[in-house]
Each structure stands twice: as structure tokens, then as C-alpha cells.
A and B are shown apart, each in its own frame.
Chain A
């Protein structure tokens, strides 16, 4: 890997050209290969700032259906960008095959090289290698599916009006985080197949739903026997449940819910691997560009500029700084990746005690293994070293509203390493970060009302938007909806409801009970 042969720098100025881009990409790609980065083919697109704002607005999806919320996003970005209140990201990368990365025209040559290394080789290899992405997303089909969804929704808008479609989309978006199968791998989807299946579904689905709501009288005996609870088990995929069981939805409405659900599923791995994904990409742009420097392919001026932006990317504001907004995933991820390399190459006694299986092993093997087989939660739990906790000065606090004080439970010392690590890992656990809400029951024989349960953890309540979400639930369900927030002892603390005539209420059960 070490090539003593020093070569001429590829370029010396800060201006980029397409020829230079190609040359840099070739060199970065060559070095990436030496480090065994396995990537989808790259499609690098140079775009303007305006186009970058467009890309922002559609959450980075190159194609998406039309919805006002994307417009809102766009206006927000535009307003802030034009007033100079925010800069735009240097790149956006899409998990697709070929992997599409956008470079902004305004970037200097150095930034373009950084972005190519970061996105086209870092993120790209992560998308291709990490087990979550392999299991849950299908990079070759996503663009196809986006095209299908865009056309389908456009067709619905023509047929049923923009407002009617918007109503369903609004409601489905509100429940997007609850539209994910956590344990079952979805089948890969492609546009053609999807279209066929969609037509098939349309005809069959309605029959099944109707069967559930059959109103033909059942004999007394039978009805007693069949006093079943529906659903037989609580359902956590709310969108799936609504798509399949909501009594009043039309086939096209079910299809729209399905589209939103599929998108949620596509983004699900990204939400679970932010630290790893960014850490991996940052580690590799750092390593790749440094290798280029060692080979004499880039100048010192280039490295100065590169290190300057690299260090601002991985800057972690202190917890009491006004700029603090949680732990910077770039910082944590980059340091953890670098730390793994350090443990492999130069293990200390402490490392040998904590990581007997990787201390002294081949760093590249170890790093690739970590990238492939973990998500943020397990990655932190497995690889966060005491040294890094000391370096980042991590500490764990308990903030309990019933107590006057916040207590410091553990800090970066011998006593606290394990607790800090566990607590940090938990912080990346989606099931801990998001409220646990499940469909509990449907009143099949009565008023067809839908009841959901929110299982509280540590007595953390739902936020103040909950009532609005319940309204959206009601839009999709069509009959009364109840949501009970239940504490660890099984007692209902608070109830939300939305009924037929849009009369809705919020009750503090605790106050009523006591």
C-alpha cells in the first residue's frame, strides 16, 4: 500500500475542471480499491446551488411526488440561504445503484475531491456493505420505484383532485415513522412489478377488507365462539395496519399509504446508522486524501484547505455551548473508526483488556467487519473504547422531572465506562428514541373504533402535537380513534381521542383518577 514513488500533484490551483474531476476520481478510486472499498458504480453530478436547494427540498430523493411539505422545505432553505444564514451541504448522496452523488459547482477543487472521497467511495461502500442496507433497501430499484410513485400520485391527483390526495399524504406522512417493518424483510420492488401488483391488489384488497366488516348476521353460537380480538396481537406498523384494514379507504388511498410506507422503509436503515455511516465516510475521506498526499498527488495548500474543512465537520460543541444540539455523529463516528484502527495497530494494555479479539488484528479486516455487521446502537456498544470516552469526555446524566436536581450518573472513569457506553448506545436505539405506539384493538361489533396504546418508558409523555396526529389517524381510519398513554404500571395516564364529527379531546386521566 505504501508507494514510495512520489508523483507530481494532479493540480495546484483551486479551480476545478471536468478533466481534473475525472483524474481525481480515478486516483481516489484506485486508492479506495487498495483499501478494499467495494462500491456501486458512481454517478457524479455537478449541480448549481439552486439545484442543490431543490435536492434538499425532496430529502435528497432525485425524483419525488409533489407535496406542499417539500415546498415548505424548499422555501425555508431558500430564505435562509439567500439571507446568508446557512450554507448548503457540499454534497448529497443517494443510496442507489449507480450511486448518485451531487457536487456543488461552487466548491473548490479540494472540496470536490473531499466530496468524491466522502460520498462516492465512503457512503457508497457503506450503502453496499452494511447489513441493514443490504436487508432493507434495494439500491437498484429505488429510482424505479420513485418514478412509479410519482406517476401514480400524479394520476391520483388528476383523477381525484389535489386536495383529496393531499389529505391522505398529510396523514400518511404524520405516521411515516410508524410504517416500518422492523423484523420482516420486505421483498425487493421494481416499478414494473409494482404496477402489476398494484392493480391486482386494488381488486382483491377491497374484498378482504369488506369481509372483516361483514354485517350479515352470524348465529348466536358462532358469534360467542368468535368473540375474537382484532388484531390478535398488537401491531406496531401503523401504516401497514391502516392500509390493510381501514374500512373506508378506497383502493387508491391504500396505495398512497403503501407508497409512503415503502419510502419510510427505504429511509429506515439511514436513521439507524447515522453515526456509522458518517463516521465511515469521514474516516475514508480523511484516509484516502492523506494517502494521496503521501503519494505526492496533492499539494500542501490542498491539504491545508482539506484539513480545515475536515476539522470543522468533526467539531463537537460542548454540552453547555449555545451551538450544542446533541452529539455530532461525524465526531463520534470518525473518532470511533479511527480508534478501531488505533486499537488494531497500536493497542495499549487497556485495549487488550477491553478488546482482546481485535487488539493487534488487521485493522482493515476489523474495520470492514464493523461496517458490515453493526448499526449505531450495537456499534457503540461493541467498539466505544475507554480512551475515546476520555478523549470526548463523555458523561451520563439522569434528568427526572420529579426530582429537583439532575444527577450525574457516570463519567469517563473506571467506574463509569460501561454505564456511559450502555447509555450512549441506548440513545441510538430507535425503539427508545421514538414513543412506542401500537394498535391495540378494534371494536369490530360496535362502533368500529380503533384503540392504540402508547407504552411509556421512564414516564416520558407524548409531545403536544399528538392530538394532531390522532386527527390524521382518524382521517385514515374513518371512525373514532382512541390513543391511551399507559405508564409502566399499566395505568392510563392520558387519553387522546378523535371522533366522527371531528370533535376531539385530550384528557389527563391522572387528574381524573386521583
Chain B
């Protein structure tokens, strides 16, 4: 007796929990490997998995078994030239002659010093972003929601004509008509039957008075039934449509960068890494993430990514032009009710002196009321200039929605990033 069962549609990830247990146990190893990989990899290359290697010794499950040495009798197959009593030099390598015994081979197979496996892209990034969280992520919680969605919610008795539910209304009218005319129709039926009986009688026996009476009664009843309105106001039903707040799942990130002559390619590359990290992070937290690139020298311009990072410009620097442009774009295209707006500005700190207070003002009055978060990073080994000081004065007013940091070398980026988005500020925000 056999049963053949198709199990292919059953879950295939039965080992998921065990896999998680393993990852959990070797978390420190994995985190180290991920950190190493982040350092080695170009950050544009973040979105793929990683091979993790753990020394076999650390993952071994020890059991009692025979070690090397002692005297061992072994039976081997495929003899070619040996005879009983032969003496053979022991092979140098740990080959067939060595008696590791069959029973104790580890399930990893021998000769592997490292236990290797792959973690997925998602897991890799999870480890990269661990302990990070964007501040104010919860700003758009359900109670202060502006974005809404319309949803059907049954039927109501009131509404606008465009929401009229015709079938539902007609059905109600029909039911009402049947209900209201029931007794009259019963009487009508009875009267008709009597009339028929009467008329079926012999010519002599017919009672013409009764016939006339019945005919009149029938007419009256028919009249009465006809008077029941075909459709009445309370038959009419409307589709009920309600507004429901939806969580905002879209984010836009503004990359604002100074491309004046003082910004070298090296500085731009550093800025780029910061943007990419921010981008990856947003991408993981929102369903849809858009990026707007604004570069500026004395005037600002929205450009594509290629141009943003690689075209060369010269000239002076007026930062406020870029901030103005950012404000305009938000007003035009990104309704703050629908979009989570993030700004990241990178600069070497140069600005036309008189412009700096201006920048702070635009930021405070125009951009910050709409934006979720704004980060300013200054990539320079030199002393701070006017722009930094202007922002510094502004920072306390904006609280944890504004952050500014200084970066001097590529290795500073990650710590700065962590700092900017550390969980601490999230806690304060909630």
C-alpha cells in the first residue's frame, strides 16, 4: 500500500529558523566580515550579498573520537602489488594510509579551514544598517496624517447623485412595492376568481348585480395597486465612500552640492558615498524613493546624477541659490503631505560671506517646515567658515531634525553616517 503525495507546494523554508539560529550564534563573526566587506567594497556596490567565512574551529561541534596515533588495523580495497608481510613506508600526506576512522569524519568534510556561506543582499544591508534608524521616521504617524485614500464602505441613504447605487435602489423599490401591494393583490385575486365563477354559471343563474359589483371592486383594487409609487425616496441608496488615512511611503532625497572650483573630484567622491549611503537607507525604509540632484556655484541647477558628480564647473559660491531652488522644487513637485523630504547638503565650507546668514534663514523659514530631515556635511580638513557658523547657530532651533558633521577623509563617512542617524535621536523624536 503506497500513498504518493505532492509536497512541492509546501513551504520550502523549513530550515529558516535554524539558519537564523546559526546567524544569531555567529553574529559577531558575521558583523566583522560585513564591516570588512564595507571597507573593501565600493559603496555603489553595496546591494549584493556577501560570503562569510568563519574558522571551522569556532563552529565545530566537538565529540569524543579517536585522534591520530596509536596502532591501527585497517582493511583497504583494491590491492595491487602488496603481499602479506610487506613493509611500506608511511605516506607523508594525510592520505589513505592514515586512520582517521570512518565514524568521526566531521560533516564539513576534512581539509576545510573555514566554514563559508552566503548571506543575502538584504541580510548584508541589515548588518550594515544595524542600530541605525532615521530620526523622525515616525513623524507621519496615523493621527497626524494628511495623505488619504478613498475606500468603499457599504451603502448609505444619503449622498450625491454620482454615487447612486441603481441596482440596490431598484431592488429596494421592488421589495417595497411587493410589500405594500400584498393585501390588495390578494383581494384582487379573490374577486377575480369570484367573478369568473359567477360568469361560468348558467345564463339563468347569473346574478348581474353581483357581477357589476365585482367588476367595480376589481377596478378599484387595480387602481389602488397602481397608486403605489414605482420608486420612493427611501428606496434610493448611495454608495458610501469614506476617506482613510494612509501611511506615507514615499521619500524624496535632495542632494545639494557645491561644484565650484574649490571642490575637487576627491571631495565630490566623498560626498557621493555619503549620498549613496543615505539613498540606500531611504530605499530600505520607503516603498518609493526619488532623488533630486541640485548643484550650484553662483547659481543653482537641477541636473542628472552623471552631471552632478562628474561635470566640472568653476566660479564663486552662493549656497542660498541652491536652497531656494530646493524650496521651489518641493513646492512644485513634492507635496509634503505625501512625501517624506530629506535634504543632504555637501560642501567644502566655502560660501560667499554675506550669503551664509541668508542660507540659514531660507533653511529655517522655507525648507525645514516641509522637510523631515536635513543633514549638512562639510568635507574639509580646514577650519570652519561662515556657513558652518551660521548653521551652527541655527541647529538648536531645529532640534534633531537637523544635523551637521565634518568629514576629513573617506574613512570618516561611515561613523558620521552612524552618528547622524543613530537610534538616540530617534528615541528623542518619538
Which of A's residues lie within 8 Å of B, judged by CB? 18, 21-22, 25-26, 29, 41-48, 50-51, 53-54, 57-58, 66-76, 78-79, 82, 98, 102, 105, 120, 162, 166, 170, 173-178, 271, 316-321, 324-327, 331, 392-402, 404-413, 415-416, 420, 423-424, 426-427, 430, 433-435, 437, 454, 456-466, 468-469, 472
Find chain B residues with CB under 8 A from A75 CB. 19, 22, 117
Quick one: CB contact mask for B85-116 with A, threshold 8 Å, 1 for yes?
11111100001111101111101100000011
| Interface residue stretch chosen among B76-84, B229-237, B253-261, B308-316 | B76-84
- Shortest 7 CB-CB distances between A and B: which pairs? A460-B70, A71-B22, A71-B18, A465-B62, A463-B67, A318-B78, A468-B62
B51 nearest in chain A by CB position: A79
Alpha-carbon distance between A404 and B107 when the two chains are bound, in angstroms: 32
Find chain A residues with CB under 8 A from B117 CB. 75-76, 78-79
Secondary structure type dominating chain A contacts: mixed
With A423-B75, A465-B63: A407-B15 Cβ-Cβ less than 8 Å: no
Find chain B residues with CB under 8 A from A47 CB. 7-8, 10
A436 to chain B: closest CB distance in Å? Answer: 10
A20 to chain B: closest CB distance in Å? Answer: 10
Find chain B residues with CB under 8 A from A177 CB. 63-64
Q: Judging by beta carbons under 8 Å apart, are B118 and A79 in contact?
A: yes
Find chain B residues with CB under 8 A from A324 CB. 95-96
With A316-B78, A395-B82: A462-B70 Cβ-Cβ less than 8 Å: no
Q: Judging by beta carbons under 8 Å apart, are B103 and A162 in contact?
A: no
Find chain B residues with CB under 8 A from A58 CB. 14-15, 18
Alpha-carbon distance between A426 and B75 when the two chains are bound, in angstroms: 10
Find chain B residues with CB under 8 A from A430 CB. 103
Q: Judging by beta carbons under 8 Å apart, are B115 and A320 in contact?
A: no
Quick one: CB contact mask for B108-136 with A, threshold 8 Å, 1 for yes?
10000001111000000000000000000
Q: Judging by beta carbons under 8 Å apart, are A71 and B4 in contact?
A: no
Q: Judging by beta carbons under 8 Å apart, are A70 and B67 in contact?
A: no
B74 nearest in chain A by CB position: A397
Alpha-carbon distance between A105 and B69 when the two chains are bound, in angstroms: 46
With A320-B96, A393-B77: A460-B72 Cβ-Cβ less than 8 Å: yes
B405 to chain A: closest CB distance in Å? Answer: 38
A92 to chain B: closest CB distance in Å? Answer: 12
Query: Quick one: which of A21, A82, A404, A463 contacts B90, CB cutoff 8 A?
Result: A404
Q: Judging by beta carbons under 8 Å apart, are A459 and B70 in contact?
A: yes
Q: Can you spell out 25 A-B residue pairs with CB atoms less than 8 angstroms apart?
A: A18-B4, A25-B2, A42-B2, A45-B6, A46-B8, A53-B15, A68-B25, A71-B22, A74-B19, A105-B8, A177-B64, A318-B78, A327-B77, A396-B76, A399-B99, A401-B68, A408-B85, A409-B84, A433-B103, A458-B72, A459-B70, A462-B67, A465-B63, A466-B62, A468-B62
Query: Quick one: which of B19, B63, B73 contacts A396, CB cutoff 8 A?
Result: B73
Q: Judging by beta carbons under 8 Å apart, are A326 and B66 in contact?
A: no
A57 to chain B: closest CB distance in Å? Answer: 5
Q: Judging by beta carbons under 8 Å apart, are B84 and A399 in contact?
A: no
Q: Judging by beta carbons under 8 Å apart, are B80 and A393 in contact?
A: yes
Find chain B residues with CB under 8 A from A45 CB. 4-7
In addition to A162-B24, A462-B64, 4 A-B residue pairs with Cβ atoms within 8 Å of each other are A405-B88, A411-B84, A433-B103, A458-B72
Find chain A residues with CB under 8 A from B98 CB. 399
A428 nearest in chain B by CB position: B102
Alpha-carbon distance between A182 and B106 when the two chains are bound, in angstroms: 24
Cβ < 8 Å to A, chain B residues 1-39: 1-8, 10, 12-15, 17-25
B82 nearest in chain A by CB position: A408
B59 part of interface (Cβ distance < 8 Å): yes
Alpha-carbon distance between A177 and B66 when the two chains are bound, in angstroms: 13
With A396-B73, A399-B71: A51-B103 Cβ-Cβ less than 8 Å: no
Alpha-carbon distance between A102 and B66 when the two chains are bound, in angstroms: 34
Find chain A residues with CB under 8 A from B72 CB. 398-400, 458, 460
With A68-B24, A399-B71, A433-B102: A46-B6 Cβ-Cβ less than 8 Å: yes
Q: Judging by beta carbons under 8 Å apart, are A319 and B7 in contact?
A: no
Q: Judging by beta carbons under 8 Å apart, are B66 and A395 in contact?
A: no
B61 part of interface (Cβ distance < 8 Å): yes
Alpha-carbon distance between A58 and B13 when the two chains are bound, in angstroms: 12
Q: Judging by beta carbons under 8 Å apart, are B116 and A79 in contact?
A: yes
Query: Quick one: which of B4, B67, B71, B87 contacts A44, CB cutoff 8 A?
Result: B4
With A394-B76, A399-B72: A434-B103 Cβ-Cβ less than 8 Å: yes
Alpha-carbon distance between A348 and B180 when the two chains are bound, in angstroms: 106
Q: Judging by beta carbons under 8 Å apart, are B21 and A162 in contact?
A: yes
Query: Quick one: which of A412, A423, A456, A465 contacts B60, CB cutoff 8 A?
Result: A465
Which of B's residues lie within 8 Å of A, judged by CB? 1-8, 10, 12-15, 17-25, 59-80, 82-90, 95-99, 101-105, 107-108, 115-118
Alpha-carbon distance between A13 and B349 when the two chains are bound, in angstroms: 74
With A46-B5, A320-B96, A326-B102: A70-B15 Cβ-Cβ less than 8 Å: yes
Q: Judging by beta carbons under 8 Å apart, are B63 and A469 in contact?
A: yes
B369 to chain A: closest CB distance in Å? Answer: 47
Q: Judging by beta carbons under 8 Å apart, are B6 and A18 in contact?
A: yes
Find chain A residues with CB under 8 A from B89 CB. 404-406
Alpha-carbon distance between A207 and B67 when the two chains are bound, in angstroms: 40
A48 nearest in chain B by CB position: B8
Of B18, B64, B84, the most chain A CB neighbours within 10 A belong to B64
Find chain A residues with CB under 8 A from B18 CB. 57-58, 66-68, 70-71, 73-74
A325 to chain B: closest CB distance in Å? Answer: 7
B85 to chain A: closest CB distance in Å? Answer: 7
Q: Judging by beta carbons under 8 Å apart, are A22 and B61 in contact?
A: no
Find chain A residues with CB under 8 A from B8 CB. 46-48, 51, 105
Of B8, B21, B68, B75, the most chain A CB neighbours within 10 A belong to B75
With A51-B12, A174-B62, A411-B84: A394-B97 Cβ-Cβ less than 8 Å: no
With A74-B18, A404-B89, A469-B62: A411-B7 Cβ-Cβ less than 8 Å: no
B6 to chain A: closest CB distance in Å? Answer: 5
A474 to chain B: closest CB distance in Å? Answer: 13
Alpha-carbon distance between A498 and B5 when the two chains are bound, in angstroms: 51
Query: Quick one: which of A72, A105, A396, A401 contacts B74, CB cutoff 8 A?
Result: A396
Alpha-carbon distance between A430 and B5 when the two chains are bound, in angstroms: 37
Find chain B residues with CB under 8 A from A21 CB. 4
A102 nearest in chain B by CB position: B7
Alpha-carbon distance between A111 and B66 when the two chains are bound, in angstroms: 38
With A51-B12, A324-B96, A411-B83: A71-B23 Cβ-Cβ less than 8 Å: yes
Q: Judging by beta carbons under 8 Å apart, are A72 and B64 in contact?
A: no
With A74-B18, A404-B90, A433-B103: A427-B75 Cβ-Cβ less than 8 Å: yes
Alpha-carbon distance between A271 and B103 when the two chains are bound, in angstroms: 9
Find chain A residues with CB under 8 A from B74 CB. 396-397, 399, 423, 427
Find chain B residues with CB under 8 A from A394 CB. 75-77, 79
Query: Quick one: which of B5, B20, B79 contacts A411, CB cutoff 8 A?
Result: B79
Find chain B residues with CB under 8 A from A331 CB. 77
Find chain A residues with CB under 8 A from B96 CB. 319-321, 324
Find chain A residues with CB under 8 A from B63 CB. 174-177, 465, 469
With A54-B14, A79-B118, A405-B90: A396-B20 Cβ-Cβ less than 8 Å: no
A458 nearest in chain B by CB position: B71
B60 to chain A: closest CB distance in Å? Answer: 7
Find chain B residues with CB under 8 A from A399 CB. 71-74, 90, 97-99
B4 nearest in chain A by CB position: A44
Find chain B residues with CB under 8 A from A437 CB. 64
Find chain A residues with CB under 8 A from B70 CB. 400-401, 456-461
A415 to chain B: closest CB distance in Å? Answer: 6
A3 to chain B: closest CB distance in Å? Answer: 22
Q: Judging by beta carbons under 8 Å apart, are A66 and B21 in contact?
A: yes
Alpha-carbon distance between A307 and B13 when the two chains are bound, in angstroms: 34
Query: Quick one: which of A26, A69, A79, A316 contacts B77, CB cutoff 8 A?
Result: A316
